[in-house]
Structure 1
Amino acid sequence: MPCKFCSKPYSSAGSTLDVVKQIKSIVDHFGPQLSTEERSLLSIAYKNITNTLRNSWRIVDTLHKVQSTRKGPVHLIQRQRQRIETELIGVCKDIIRLLDRELLPAASEGEETVFYSKLKGDYCRYLAELGQKRERDRYAELSLKAYRSAYKHALATLHPLHPTRLGLALNFSVFYHDIKQSPERACHLAKSAFDDAVLSVNASDPGMDQTLRDSMAILQLLKDDIILWSGEMKD
């Protein structure tokens, strides 16, 4: 699909930052009603940026913990970890501002609202992973509120096999496991979404074939997490 702003096809050669700037330009010039492809590009661009930073942060944080046990100099590692944290926090807050000010207020009922609310829950969750206690608690609450709103809307408007509904269930259950430290609630939510999707397969119409194929990978991830978290509860 051509870009509204430049009237040319999107190019995969551009950097993720270029994609973010281009989507923001579309919002500024044409309004916040993005196409499905534009929403996907925005999500992938921010995900690529934050995944790189989160992986780097985990590596540096592990090095910091190892070095601390050896009572060696850690100031350089601390400085690098702080630099990554600052950049990651800035990116997360940037997309949350875009969602709150532009995209969510203009979102249509159904998949679009669920998609944006899920994104807000995701990036508030990332901030909750990083912050000190007060900030961590604040962003955990914002993440929970966004996920709950998205899930309530998804149950009312989206088919149980819809990839956006399943992706939301996957990330919401991860929130309960990682942030709330509750494998029981995480497993319950994941299993409920998985069972609803499986039960709806026979009732789906022929037009759901493509959706079913798109959803299979998420169903497998849900199944893997259910097995993992069930094992944790037994332990």
Structure 2
Amino acid sequence: MMPTEASREDNVYMAKLAEQAERYEEMVEFMEKVAKTVDAEELTVEERNLLVVAYKNVFGAWRASWRIISSIEQKEERCENEDHVSIIKEHRGKIEEELSKIRDGILDLLDSPLIPLY
């Protein structure tokens, strides 16, 4: 069990474990902790790669969900099944909100010390 205040190395290790288990949302959480510990030093190449893999997979899964839901929505619209269309639109909206949160998360990290100002 990890201590309450996990070290940078512990978080990187846990991110690697999460990647192997294909638990990308957890991987994002661990890599966000690593990124937020960066003060004067930069992320290592390995840490940057882990961060990219984590966000790519989380965002990719939600994007795939959005595409599927949008496709079903179009099908239901063609069938003029308005009851289903309204339910699907509501669900698609929830997916879009989650995509926005993920996008905002990575943008917040990029606005932090990850990208030094020159």
TM tier, smaller: 0.7 to 0.9
CA RMSD of aligned residues (A): 2.4
Tell me the TM-score normalised to structure 1 length: 0.40
Q: How does 1:1-235 map to 2 (within 5 A)?
A: 4-6=8-10, 9=13, 10-11=16-17, 12-13=20-21, 15-31=23-39, 33-72=42-81, 73=83, 74-105=85-116
Tell which has more relative contact order, 1 or 2 (C-alpha 8 A, sep 6+): 2
Question: Once superposed, which parts of structure 1, at least 4 consecutive aligned residues long, lie more than 3 Å away?
Answer: 7-10
Q: Report the Cα offset of residue 75 of structure 1.
A: 1.3
Q: How many residues align?
A: 105
Determine the C-alpha separation between the residues in 2 that align with 1:7 and 1:100. 21
AA at the equivalent of 1:89: S
Determine the C-alpha separation between the residues in 1 that align with 2:78 and 2:116. 49
Q: Secondary structure at the match of 2:113?
A: helix
Determine the C-alpha separation between the residues in 2 that align with 1:7 and 1:63. 39
Determine the C-alpha separation between the residues in 2 that align with 1:64 and 1:35. 43
Determine the C-alpha separation between the residues in 1 that align with 2:26 and 2:86. 34
Tell me the TM-score normalised to structure 2 length: 0.75
Question: Which one has the largest radius of gyration?
Answer: 1
Residue 4 of structure 2 corresponds to none
Residue 174 of structure 1 corresponds to none
AA at the equivalent of 1:13: A
CA contact (8 A) 1:4 1:26 kept: yes
1:28-51 residue CA offsets vs partner (Å, 9 max, x unmatched)? 334361011110110011010111
Q: Which runs of 5+ in 2 are unaligned?
A: 1-6
Q: Which runs of 5+ in 1 are unaligned?
A: 108-235
Q: Secondary structure at the match of 1:25?
A: helix
CA contact (8 A) 1:61 1:81 kept: yes
